């Protein structure tokens, strides 16, 4: 093999020649008359529909949309000969599409980026004889651990925290289930899906969701169904001591049709109300254990029954009146009190109670907000969080949003050309864009990016530029 080294000039010249040839084949903008496919247009309209719905409901921050990047060969050639372009390409890319400004993140994060809160880690405590750890991987939050025996047989265990956020389904594991027989099973009381190959030659597969751990799981391998179930029921949280104390609790599961209506979150109390299309309320209340804590419940029209929530004694108030909600009350290991009321059957009330999971507040917050604004609503979690601020004397909302980015994520800002003026700004050394509204009915928007740590920030509200910048520059990590 010829190992003669090439000089930079010898490599750069043909690359430039190839670039020139490819660029000359690209038509001029005025010659481009591209018609997007109906499928692409439908996907974009879905994104924009979500944006418009968010604007109508909140009159504030523009909702994050997940977008997929399409990289062409031409860009690869260009980056090969232009290092400044390479630096700009791996990070945030801004494009205009109709009345939207679309930001897309490309590339990998800085290995030294600030970490998020520790993630929950799970492992099976029991394995069939002869199986030992063989490796693990993580892609977009989905973890997979492989175990093998001396014959080379592979047993795979996978899990995905917060499955509701990832719209998890059995197809999320990307396994071929076409030649499988599907039956229902249970894992530690949770409904599970068991897939057995019709030919008996491949692996059995077991999938289930644990609301207690707020995670979806999958175990597959060439072992007996009884052994597969035993592996599944031995799965446990292995880094519980490393997780910080929860700021509160939330429901990881909701019955179909219920949406968030209102919530009141304070240091020692959480009260959340959901409603369905029929106007029926589902209420969740959490009280942190203190020396003196009172929870008064109206038992009129109900019959009290005993039950359990993860082994803890619970009181069920079963209603016999269609206009009165049933309820369930119980206490946690730390003497925290929980209460749920809803127009549901007993089994669904218990399922709701067992779906309660720890809640963590935002990692970042603005230490300064304009006078009169108070934070009264938070949506999301510690690594994708939207905080809403309100004033008592106005229905106009101020929002602060941040999320950790990875390749393929993005956000869009609705900005009609005639209604907004765009300006480049700097926020604590980070690049940002300010969209000043020129009409009274629309809020202004500030977007900026911490590319070193892979975090996107935005603030939207009816404020002038100086106040938006002051609030943005006050944002700090609080834990």
In angstroms, the CA 241 to CA 120 distance is: 10
Structure tokens that stand for 63 in this block: 């909702």
Partners of 441 in beta bridges: none
Q: Are residues 185 and 224 in the same domain?
A: yes
Q: Are residues 337 and 377 in the same domain?
A: no
Rank 176-180, 196-200, 314-318, 334-338 by mean pLDDT and report only the highest: 314-318
In angstroms, the CA 403 to CA 92 distance is: 14
Using an 8 Å Cβ cutoff, are 74 and 22 in contact?
Answer: yes
Strand order in the sheet with 394-404: 374-381, 384-391, 394-404, 455-461, 444-450, 430-437, 420-427
Is residue 415 pLDDT above 50, yes or no? yes
Picking from 17-21, 383-387, 427-431, 462-466, which range would have the lowest pLDDT averaged per residue?
17-21
Rank 63-72, 142-151, 244-253 by mean pLDDT and report only the highest: 142-151
Using an 8 Å Cβ cutoff, are 234 and 124 in contact?
Answer: yes
Q: Are residues 190 and 258 in the same domain?
A: no
Is residue 153 pLDDT above 90, yes or no? yes
Number of domains in the chain: 3
* Beta strands, E only, 188-247: 190-197, 204-210, 215-221, 235-237
Which of 223, 242, 261 is at the close of a domain?
A: 242
Is residue 416 pLDDT above 80, yes or no? no
Using an 8 Å Cβ cutoff, are 343 and 351 in contact?
Answer: no
Q: Are residues 139 and 193 in the same domain?
A: yes
Average pLDDT, stretch 190-214? Answer: 83
Picking from 132-146, 286-300, 434-448, which range would have the lowest pLDDT averaged per residue?
286-300
Structure tokens that stand for 424 in this block: 């480049």
* Residue 162 domain-assigned (yes or no): yes
In angstroms, the CA 102 to CA 82 distance is: 24
- Looking at the chain, the whole-number percentage of residues with pLDDT higher than 70 is 66
First-to-last alpha carbon distance for the chain, in angstroms, is: 56
* DSSP state, residue 174: -
Higher pLDDT, 108 or 282: 282
Using an 8 Å Cβ cutoff, are 410 and 403 in contact?
Answer: no
pLDDT for 124 equals: 95
* Residue 428 domain-assigned (yes or no): yes
Q: Are residues 232 and 255 in the same domain?
A: no
Q: Are residues 131 and 236 in the same domain?
A: yes
Q: What is the pLDDT of residues 79-107, one digit of tens each?
A: 334 434 334 444 566 666 666 666 666 55
C-alpha 226 chain-centroid distance: 34
Structure tokens that stand for 317 in this block: 């108030």
Look up the CATH number of the domain holding residue 96.
Answer: 3.30.200.100
Q: Are residues 373 and 396 in the same domain?
A: yes
User: Could you tell me the pLDDT band of residue 44, with boundaries at 50, 70 and 90?
Assistant: low
Structure tokens that stand for 164 in this block: 């509701």
Partners of 403 in beta bridges: 384, 456
Which of 219, 242, 265 is at the close of a domain?
A: 242
Structure tokens that stand for 20 in this block: 């020139």
Domain containing 69 equals 1-109+362-479
Encode 336-370: b = buried (16+ Cβ within 10 Å), e = exposed.
Answer: bbbbbbbbbeeeebbbbbbbbbebbbbbbbbeebb
* Residue 312 domain-assigned (yes or no): yes
* Residue 57 domain-assigned (yes or no): yes
Is residue 235 pLDDT above 50, yes or no? yes
Q: Are residues 85 and 149 in the same domain?
A: no
Q: Are residues 175 and 192 in the same domain?
A: yes
* Residue 116 domain-assigned (yes or no): no
Using an 8 Å Cβ cutoff, are 229 and 128 in contact?
Answer: no
Partners of 244 in beta bridges: none
Which of 339, 359, 379 is at the close of a domain?
A: 359
Look up the CATH number of the domain holding residue 229.
Answer: 3.30.200
Picking from 126-130, 207-211, 270-274, which range would have the lowest pLDDT averaged per residue?
207-211
What φ, ψ does residue 303 adopt, rounded to 5°? -115, 130
Kindly compute the dihedral angle of the four CA atoms of residues 79, 83, 84, 87, in this order, to the nearest 10 degrees: 80
* Residue 114 domain-assigned (yes or no): no
Higher pLDDT, 73 or 360: 360
* Residue 115 domain-assigned (yes or no): no
Q: Are residues 353 and 403 in the same domain?
A: no
Q: Are residues 208 and 267 in the same domain?
A: no
* Residue 117 domain-assigned (yes or no): no
Q: Are residues 3 and 37 in the same domain?
A: yes
Is residue 182 pLDDT above 80, yes or no? yes
């Amino acid at each position: 093999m010829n190992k003669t080294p090439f000089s930079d000039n010898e490599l750069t010249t043909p690359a430039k020649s190839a670039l020139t040839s490819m660029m000359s084949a690209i038509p001029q903008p005025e010659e481009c008359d591209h018609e997007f496919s109906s499928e692409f247009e439908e996907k974009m309209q879905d994104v924009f529909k979500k944006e418009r719905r968010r604007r109508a409901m909140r009159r504030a921050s523009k909702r994050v949309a997940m977008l997929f990047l399409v990289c062409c060969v031409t860009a690869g050639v260009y980056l090969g000969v232009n290092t400044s372009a390479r630096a700009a390409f791996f990070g945030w890319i801004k494009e205009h599409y109709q009345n939207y400004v679309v930001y897309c993140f490309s590339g990998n994060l800085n290995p030294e980026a600030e970490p998020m809160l520790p993630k929950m880690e799970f492992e099976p405590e029991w394995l069939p004889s002869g199986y030992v750890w063989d490796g693990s991987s993580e892609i977009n939050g989905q973890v997979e651990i492989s175990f093998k025996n001396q014959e080379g047989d592979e047993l795979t265990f996978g899990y995905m925290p917060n499955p509701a956020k990832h719209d998890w389904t059995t197809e999320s594991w990307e396994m071929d289930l076409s030649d499988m027989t599907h039956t229902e099973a249970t894992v530690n009381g949770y409904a599970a899906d068991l897939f057995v190959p019709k030919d008996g030659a491949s692996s059995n597969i077991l999938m289930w969701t644990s609301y207690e751990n707020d995670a979806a799981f999958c175990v597959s391998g060439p072992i007996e169904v009884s052994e597969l179930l035993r592996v599944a029921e031995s799965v446990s949280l292995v880094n519980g001591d490393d997780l910080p104390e929860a700021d509160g609790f939330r429901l990881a599961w909701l019955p179909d049709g219920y949406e968030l209506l209102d919530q009141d979150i304070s240091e020692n109390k959480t009260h959340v109300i959901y409603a369905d299309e029929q106007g029926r309320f589902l209420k969740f209340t959490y009280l942190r254990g203190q020396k003196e804590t009172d929870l008064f419940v109206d038992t009129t029209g109900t019959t009290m029954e005993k039950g359990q929530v993860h082994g803890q004694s619970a009181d069920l108030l079963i209603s016999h009146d269609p206009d009165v909600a049933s309820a369930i009350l119980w206490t946690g290991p730390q003497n925290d009190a929980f209460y749920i009321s809803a127009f549901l059957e007993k089994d669904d009330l218990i399922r709701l109670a067992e779906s309660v999971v720890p809640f963590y507040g935002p990692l970042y917050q603005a230490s300064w907000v304009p006078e009169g604004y108070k934070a009264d609503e938070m949506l999301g979690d510690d690594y994708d969080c939207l905080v809403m601020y309100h004033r008592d004397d106005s229905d106009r909302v101020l929002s602060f949003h941040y999320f950790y980015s990875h390749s393929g994520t993005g956000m869009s800002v609705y900005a009609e050309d005639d209604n907004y003026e765009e300006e480049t700004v700097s926020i604590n050394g980070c690049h940002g864009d300010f969209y000043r509204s020129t009409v009274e009915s629309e809020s202004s928007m500030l977007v900026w990016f911490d590319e070193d740590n892979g975090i996107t920030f935005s603030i939207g509200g009816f404020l002038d530029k100086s106040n938006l910048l002051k609030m943005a520059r006050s944002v700090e990590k609080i834990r």
